[in-house]
């Protein structure tokens, strides 16, 4: 957890250290990346399933077409067989075998002309009168296949069905080849007569036949496999069993359907994302430059000027801003406030810090600062505000909506984008207006505070040279005893000449000693230790008051000087420290508080600039 917290702190510090332009760029890039990711997910969830569904339906149609092809082959061979079975010459041949019929009708060329691979005449007792098998491509007889075909044609299963049915068709396997056979009882041309046998005609069902019919590369094997449809990256692999009568399979028809439709869906998604990326990048650049031109530069100017004022104290007004928007009004209010503040500053520089009256002036400045705090926050928020969609993007959406070529789905998305964009613009405008109204009110409050103090100017504080040790001893007498027990008090042996107001310095030293005693009491020291020492500062004299009281967190030192702050469990502050710091500052000096942490005591350091301290006085 500590490592994670350190990483978050590092990222937070890095973010705070970035310039506004860098923050805006990074924010826009992150928003754009998230938007593209969401857009890609949305497209993948909408477009891909639609294309996949189309592809599945296409595969299902292809399977249905393959099954229809098998039925068509059987139907064709059965009709061809019936043409030869219902024929007087065939009837006579089965009854009385003769070579003349064979020479005229059962030759190789005869089978080639009919377009079948094999023919067999079989009597119901199993006698095979004739069987021949021809390779249609080479137009040659196949004696071995003829014998194998004769055995299938005279098999018990074929003879049993031939006795009970006038005709039928089936798939059989012969020597690794899948044959579609037609079987028909031999009768007279008019359909009369008692059949004595039947004719079997066969047609090879191979990959070439299936490929031509299905318009895709197909393969026919005698390997038996269950019906399946398997999806791979590039194609659907389909297996259709070739079933014989009774449901048993004699082979398989296998073919592949390319995944062109799903690939088209993926290409569509990629194209849409590329287009969206280009549009988004262009939009982000446009938004960034527009925000930079109309908001960022002006806010940066105001912020830079305020920093300059805070750094060097020169209350110079902002340049004229003729615009009538909120930033223009803020600039004019700021200039008015600076003018009033400059006038009051001139008065405060000569104001007397007599007891009570100086606190009023310090309180006024403190209230002015509190009134200006909201202005700083509002400016910081406005500077880091994320830009919304620009006019070019909106115009592009409107042009697409106006076009008759835009599809309905795109129209709905564009309309939703415009609604969201205009809502976002309205929301941002309302928020900015509300913020600037609050800033203007804060500036008006500061002006009112400054005007109320315009008649409190006094003469400069009279300064004199005196030994500060006399003042320290006078105030140290009241700190020698705590509510219980004594406090060890260590005073310097040698004095130090300073240039200040004796009465005011007495009040400052007394206030600091009182605070030190309260801190020792709060720490329950028995006895407590309190020491005062003098030192030479770079440009004057330094007075150091050290105690072993409760101390405080070093980072809270500045808070102790705030008007109204008080904590008896730590250093006693409140208006005393606030008044002390302002009084010392009015005499050209400074007051600081230091501590190494809670329970480790504290130091109050008063520096009086311009005091000429002799080495003899400071010598130990």
Is there a single domain that holds both residue 410 and residue 338? yes
The helix or strand, by DSSP H or E, that contains position 513, with its residue range, turns out to be helix 502-523
Which distant-in-sequence residues (6+ apart) come within 8 Å of 122 by Cβ?
128, 129, 153, 154, 158, 159, 162, 197, 198, 199, 200
pLDDT tier at 484, thresholds 50, 70, 90: very low
Is there a single domain that holds both residue 232 and residue 93? yes
563, two tokens: 């008007």
560 DSSP assignment: G
Cβ pair 575, 566 in contact under 8 A: no
- Residue 70 CA to residue 171 CA, distance in Å, equals 9
Instruction: Please check the confidence at residue 77 and state whether its pLDDT lies above 90.
Output: yes
Taking residues 255-273, what's their average pLDDT?
A: 80
Q: Please indicate, yes or no, if residue 57 is contained in any of the structural domains.
A: yes
- DSSP notation for 304-334: HHHHHHHHH---PPPPP----SHHHHHHHHH
What are the two backbone dihedrals, phi and then psi, of residue 551, each rounded to the nearest 5 degrees? 65, -170
531, two tokens: 């020491």
Give 238 or 19, the one with higher predicted confidence: 238
- Output the pLDDT for position 618: 37
Axis crossing angle, helix 408-452 with helix 357-383, rounded to the nearest 10: 170
- Output the pLDDT for position 183: 96
- Output the pLDDT for position 434: 63
385 DSSP assignment: P
Mean pLDDT is highest, among 41-50, 300-309, 548-557, for 548-557
- Output the pLDDT for position 309: 66
Give 539 or 286, the one with higher predicted confidence: 286
Is there a single domain that holds both residue 183 and residue 305? no
Closest CA to 202 of 224, 178, 218, 167: 178
Taking residues 394-408, what's their average pLDDT?
A: 78
Least confident range from 154-163, 183-192, 295-304, 406-415: namely 295-304
Mean pLDDT is highest, among 4-8, 49-53, 335-339, for 49-53
Is there a single domain that holds both residue 90 and residue 205? yes
Taking residues 82-98, what's their average pLDDT?
A: 91
Least confident range from 100-104, 174-178, 270-274, 343-347: namely 343-347
Is there a single domain that holds both residue 91 and residue 176? yes
- Provide the Cα torsion 47, 49, 50, 55; round to 10°: 120
Long-range pairs for 24-28: beta carbons < 8 A, 24 or more residues apart? 24/288, 24/291, 24/292, 24/296, 24/386, 24/387, 25/288, 27/386, 28/284, 28/287, 28/288, 28/386, 28/387
Please give the C-alpha separations between residue 573 and each of 159, 357, 503, 505, in angstroms, as whole numbers. 119, 19, 21, 18
- Output the pLDDT for position 19: 67
Taking residues 196-221, what's their average pLDDT?
A: 91
Q: Please indicate, yes or no, if residue 533 is contained in any of the structural domains.
A: yes
- Output the pLDDT for position 132: 93
Instruction: Please check the confidence at residue 615 and state whether its pLDDT lies above 50.
Output: no
Least confident range from 65-74, 358-367, 526-535: namely 358-367
21, two tokens: 């332009």
Q: Please indicate, yes or no, if residue 114 is contained in any of the structural domains.
A: yes
Number of structural domains, the chain? 3
- DSSP notation for 34-100: HHHHHHHHHHHHHHHHHHHHHHHHHHHHHHHHHHHHHHHHHHHHHHHHHHHHB-HHHHHHHHS--HH
Do β-strands 197-204 and 177-185 pair in parallel, antiparallel, or remain unpaired? antiparallel
The helix or strand, by DSSP H or E, that contains position 437, with its residue range, turns out to be helix 408-452
Taking residues 349-354, what's their average pLDDT?
A: 45
Instruction: Please check the confidence at residue 362 and state whether its pLDDT lies above 70.
Output: no
Least confident range from 26-30, 149-153, 336-340: namely 336-340
Task: Return the residue matching tokens 């009491």.
Answer: 521
- Residues 106-142 have pLDDT tens digits of 888 888 888 899 999 999 999 999 999 999 888 898 9
Q: Please indicate, yes or no, if residue 35 is contained in any of the structural domains.
A: no
Give the angle subtended at the CA of 555 by the CAs of 551 and 559, to the nearest 5°.
85
- Residue 212 CA to residue 130 CA, distance in Å, equals 32
CATH number at residue 175: 3.30.450.20
Cβ pair 493, 532 in contact under 8 A: no
- Output the pLDDT for position 589: 87
Q: What is the mean pLDDT of the chain?
A: 78
Instruction: Please check the confidence at residue 558 and state whether its pLDDT lies above 90.
Output: no
pLDDT tier at 156, thresholds 50, 70, 90: very high
Residues of the chain above pLDDT 70, percent = 75
Instruction: Please check the confidence at residue 189 and state whether its pLDDT lies above 60.
Output: yes
Q: Please indicate, yes or no, if residue 157 is contained in any of the structural domains.
A: yes
Taking residues 581-596, what's their average pLDDT?
A: 87
Give 412 or 148, the one with higher predicted confidence: 148
Examine the fold and report which residue of 260, 290, 322 is the final residue of a domain before the chain moves on: 260
Is there a single domain that holds both residue 555 and residue 605? yes
Is there a single domain that holds both residue 191 and residue 110? yes
Please give the C-alpha separations between residue 419 and each of 397, 432, 523, 608, in angstroms, as whole numbers. 11, 20, 64, 65
What's the per-residue H, E or C state across 395-436? HHHHHHHHCCCCCHHHHHHHHHHHHHHHHHHHHHHHHHHHHH
CATH number at residue 518: 3.30.565.10
Give 28 or 536, the one with higher predicted confidence: 536
Is there a single domain that holds both residue 309 and residue 423? yes
- Residue 182 CA to residue 117 CA, distance in Å, equals 12
- Output the pLDDT for position 385: 60
Least confident range from 198-202, 309-313, 517-521, 591-595: namely 309-313
Is there a single domain that holds both residue 528 and residue 548? yes
Is there a single domain that holds both residue 212 and residue 309? no
Instruction: Please check the confidence at residue 366 and state whether its pLDDT lies above 70.
Output: no
Q: Please indicate, yes or no, if residue 46 is contained in any of the structural domains.
A: no
Q: Please indicate, yes or no, if residue 140 is contained in any of the structural domains.
A: yes
Q: Please indicate, yes or no, if residue 17 is contained in any of the structural domains.
A: no
Is there a single domain that holds both residue 311 and residue 448? yes
Long-range pairs for 61-65: beta carbons < 8 A, 24 or more residues apart? 62/214, 62/216, 62/238, 62/255, 62/257, 63/229, 63/238, 63/240, 65/213, 65/214
Examine the fold and report which residue of 452, 479, 499 is the final residue of a domain before the chain moves on: 452
pLDDT tier at 355, thresholds 50, 70, 90: very low
619, two tokens: 């010598």
Is there a single domain that holds both residue 110 and residue 183? yes
SS3 state at 291: helix
Least confident range from 167-181, 215-229, 519-533: namely 519-533
Its domain, for residue 472, covers 464-618
- Output the pLDDT for position 453: 52
Examine the fold and report which residue of 260, 292, 319 is the final residue of a domain before the chain moves on: 260
By the 10 Å C-beta count (0-12 exposed, 13-18 middle, 19+ buried), 556 is classed as: middle
């Amino acid at each position: 957890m500590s490592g994670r917290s350190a990483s978050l702190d590092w990222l937070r510090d890095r973010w705070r250290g970035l310039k506004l332009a860098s923050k805006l760029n990074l924010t826009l890039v992150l928003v754009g990346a998230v938007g593209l990711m969401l857009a890609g997910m949305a497209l993948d969830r909408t477009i891909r399933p639609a294309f996949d569904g189309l592809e599945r339906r296409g595969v299902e149609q292809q399977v249905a077409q393959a099954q229809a092809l098998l039925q068509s082959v059987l139907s064709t061979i059965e009709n061809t067989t019936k043409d030869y079975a219902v024929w007087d010459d065939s009837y006579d041949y089965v009854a009385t075998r003769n070579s003349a019929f064979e020479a005229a009708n059962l030759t190789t060329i005869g089978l080639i002309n009919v377009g079948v691979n094999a023919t067999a005449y079989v009597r119901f007792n199993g006698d095979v009168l004739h069987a021949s098998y021809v390779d249609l491509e080479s137009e040659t007889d196949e004696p071995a296949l003829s014998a194998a075909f004769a055995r299938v044609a005279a098999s018990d299963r074929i003879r049993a069905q031939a006795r009970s049915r006038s005709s039928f068709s089936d798939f059989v396997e012969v020597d690794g080849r899948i044959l579609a056979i037609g079987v028909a009882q031999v009768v007279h041309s008019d359909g009369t007569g008692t059949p004595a046998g039947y004719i079997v005609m066969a047609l090879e069902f191979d990959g070439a036949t299936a490929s031509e019919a299905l318009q895709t590369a197909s393969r026919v094997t005698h390997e038996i496999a269950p019906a399946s449809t398997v999806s791979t990256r590039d194609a659907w692999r389909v297996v259709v069993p070739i079933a014989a009568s009774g449901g048993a399979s004699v082979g398989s028809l296998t073919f592949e359907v390319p995944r062109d439709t799903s690939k088209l869906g993926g290409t569509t998604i990629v194209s849409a994302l590329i287009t969206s990326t280009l549009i988004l990048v262009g939009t982000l650049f446009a938004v960034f430059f527009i925000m930079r031109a109309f908001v960022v530069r002006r806010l940066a100017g105001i912020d830079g000027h305020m920093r300059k004022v805070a750094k060097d104290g020169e209350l110079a007004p902002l340049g004229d801003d003729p615009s009538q928007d909120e930033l223009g009004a803020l600039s004019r209010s700021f200039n008015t406030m600076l003018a009033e503040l400059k006038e009051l500053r001139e008065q405060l520089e000569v104001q007397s810090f007599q007891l009570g009256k100086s606190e009023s002036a310090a309180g006024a400045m403190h209230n002015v600062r509190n009134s200006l705090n909201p202005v700083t926050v509002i400016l910081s928020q406005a500077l880091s505000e994320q830009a919304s969609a620009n006019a070019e993007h909106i115009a592009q959406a409107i042009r697409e909506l106006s076009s008759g070529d835009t599809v309905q789905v795109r129209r709905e998305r564009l309309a939703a984008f415009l609604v969201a964009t205009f809502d976002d613009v309205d929301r941002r405008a309302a928020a900015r207006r509300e913020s600037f109204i609050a800033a203007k009110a804060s500036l008006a409050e500061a002006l009112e505070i400054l005007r109320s103090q315009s008649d409190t100017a006094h003469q400069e504080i009279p300064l004199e040279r005196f030994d500060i040790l006399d003042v320290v001893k006078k105030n140290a007498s009241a700190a020698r005893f705590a509510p219980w027990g004594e406090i060890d008090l260590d005073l310097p042996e040698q004095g130090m000449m300073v240039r200040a107001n004796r009465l005011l310095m007495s009040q400052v030293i007394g206030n600091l000693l009182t605070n030190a005693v309260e801190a020792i009491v709060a720490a329950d020291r028995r006895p407590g230790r309190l020491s005062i020492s003098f030192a030479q500062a770079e440009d004057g004299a330094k007075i150091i008051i050290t105690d072993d009281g409760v101390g405080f967190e070093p980072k809270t030192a500045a808070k102790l000087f705030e008007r109204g702050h008080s904590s008896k469990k730590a250093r006693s502050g409140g208006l005393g420290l606030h008044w002390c710091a302002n009084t010392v500052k009015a005499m050209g000096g400074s007051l600081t508080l230091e501590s190494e942490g809670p329970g480790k005591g504290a130091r109050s350091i008063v520096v009086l600039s311009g005091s000429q301290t002799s080495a003899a006085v400071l010598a130990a």
